[in-house]
């Protein structure tokens, strides 16, 4: 009876926490994204130290500056590409709308459909689907409105970065005993090391993926190749689905732009091969060595956090789940959950690691 009561209490508590996270997402999301950026900066700073010869010679201040410049370059590139290409996208949309309609009509002819599709008939057949110009315009406007959110996130990240200097001292006051303080400090160090390493390595791999895809899209002459490359870089932070969308969006643009099926085929093949090589070989190495998370747990966390926080939740699902696993491994009552969420099942509390 006591166990059943405990399960009911836990279920109610989880529902309350989920409800608070959902209704407070406008407050929580910028804070967590700001913390994620700080983790990337700190992780890149520590990663630079491992560069042969040069890494040891660089002072810590310069390494922090280089890491901040790296993040600023990515954010600046996204903002610039949105602002620079907004009017151009809207101007070229009618042309691509006609090209896309021609492609649909060729498919209709190949399938033996007697009535030739038009945008009017397509809208009627597809429940009055909006036209391409309205869709693209709304998408660009939505992306533009994100710029203000980016500024807020960077503001949080700046203050959190300054807080890192006093952070270790604050941890000592979270417990009344030296043993408790040492345990909290060790857990915090474990979280910082794993999440920082994951986000830093993931950032480097994502930039590498975006650069290779940009070269491929530029080679075939795809419009807005720079924007698609930055988008692919960001989507790579979303497990599984990000790779699919990173191929789908540029491919949809290619279908609207090119009349030659061979160009579309080669572009699709190239993007799929690049995504497969990085997603099948490099990403599992990062996941396995940094986070120790089960692929199924990642998929479930992606569904849960996407439902709670939308697109931002999809980006943050993996780091948040990794933090949950580390914290749950510290308590005997929640350690079984941490074992189920882990990739290998080998999770140990701070005390166990010290004993070993």
Q: What per-residue confidence (pLDDT) applies to 113?
A: 55
Pair 40, 71: CB distance under 8 Å = yes
Query: Of the candidates 252, 286, 247, 288, which has an alpha carbon nearest to the alpha carbon of residue 269?
Result: 247
**Distance in angstroms (rounded) separating the CA atoms of residues 89 and 194:** 40
Q: How does pLDDT run across 51-104, given as a tens digit for each residue? A: 777 767 778 788 888 888 888 887 777 777 767 766 666 666 666 666 665 665
Comparing 106 with 184, the larger pLDDT belongs to 184
Average pLDDT over residues 18-33: 88
Please choose, from the candidates 205, 206, 201, 169, the residue with its C-alpha nearest in 3D space to the C-alpha of residue 188: 169
Separation between Cα atoms, residue 85 and residue 135, nearest integer Å = 16
Query: Please, what sign has the CA dihedral across residues 210, 214, 217, 220?
Result: negative
What tens digit of pLDDT does each residue of 318-356 get?
Answer: 888 888 888 888 877 778 888 888 877 777 655 555 444
* DSSP for residue 129: P
What gap in Å lies between CA 40 and CA 216, rounded to an integer? 27
Tell me the whole-structure pTM to 2 decimals: 0.73
139-162 in b/e form (b: 16+ CB < 10 A) is: ebeebeeeeeeeeebbebbeebbe
Instruction: Taking residues 262-269, report their average pLDDT.
Output: 88
40, with CB counted inside 10 A (0-12, 13-18, 19+), is buried
Q: What's the confidence (pLDDT) of residue 354?
A: 47
Model pLDDT for residues 151-168, shown as the tens digit of each residue: 788 888 888 888 877 777
Per-residue pLDDT band at 115 (split at 50, 70, 90): low
What is residue 1's predicted lDDT score, i.e. its pLDDT? 62
SS3 of 342, please? strand
Residue-level pLDDT at 215: 92
Q: What is the DSSP string of 178-206?
A: HHHHHHHHHHHHHHHHHHHHHHHHHHHHH
Least confident of 45-49, 89-93, 115-119, 265-269: 115-119
What percent of the chain shows pLDDT beyond 70?
75
For residue 135, give both structure tokens. 């869709």
Beta-bridge mates of residue 293: 342
The answer to whether the beta carbons of residues 341 and 294 sit under 8 Å apart is yes
Q: What is the pLDDT confidence band of residue 124, given thresholds at 50, 70 and 90?
A: very low
With beta carbons less than 8 A apart as the criterion, state whether 183 and 350 touch: yes
Q: How far apart are CA 37 and CA 305, in angstroms?
A: 18
The torsion angles phi and psi of 333, rounded to 5 degrees, stand at -70, -30
């Amino acid at each position: 009876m006591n166990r059943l009561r405990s399960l009911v209490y836990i279920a109610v508590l989880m529902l309350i926490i989920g409800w608070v996270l959902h209704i407070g997402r406008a407050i929580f999301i910028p804070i967590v994204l700001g913390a994620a950026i700080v983790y990337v900066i700190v992780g890149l700073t520590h990663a630079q130290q491992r560069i042969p010869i040069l890494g040891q010679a660089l002072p810590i201040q310069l390494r922090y500056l280089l890491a901040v410049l790296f993040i600023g370059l990515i954010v600046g590139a996204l903002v610039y590409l949105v602002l620079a290409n907004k009017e151009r996208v809207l101007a070229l949309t009618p042309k691509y709308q006609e090209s896309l309609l021609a492609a649909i009509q060729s498919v209709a002819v190949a399938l033996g459909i007697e009535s030739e599709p038009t945008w009017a008939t397509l809208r009627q057949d597809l429940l009055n689907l909006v036209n391409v110009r309205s869709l693209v315009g709304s998408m660009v406007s939505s992306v533009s409105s994100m710029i203000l959110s980016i500024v807020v996130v960077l503001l949080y990240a700046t203050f959190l970065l300054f807080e890192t200097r006093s952070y270790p001292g604050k941890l000592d006051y979270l417990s009344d005993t030296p043993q408790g303080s040492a345990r909290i400090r060790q857990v915090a160090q474990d979280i910082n090391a794993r999440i920082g390493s994951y986000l830093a390595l993931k950032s480097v791999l994502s930039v590498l993926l975006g650069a290779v895809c940009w070269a491929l899209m530029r080679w075939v002459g795809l419009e807005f190749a720079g924007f698609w490359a930055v988008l692919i870089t960001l989507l790579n932070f979303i497990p599984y689905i990000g790779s699919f969308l990173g191929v789908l969006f540029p491919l949809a643009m290619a279908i609207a732009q090119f009349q030659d099926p061979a160009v579309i085929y080669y572009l699709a093949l190239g993007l799929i091969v690049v995504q497969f090589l990085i997603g099948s070989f490099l990403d599992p190495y990062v996941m396995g060595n940094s986070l120790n998370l089960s692929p199924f747990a990642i998929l479930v966390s992606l569904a849960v956090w996407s439902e709670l926080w939308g697109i931002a939740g999809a980006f943050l699902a993996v780091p948040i789940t990794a933090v949950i696993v580390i914290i749950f491994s510290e308590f005997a009552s929640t350690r079984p959950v941490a074992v189920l969420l882990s990739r290998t099942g080998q999770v140990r509390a701070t005390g166990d690691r010290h004993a070993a």
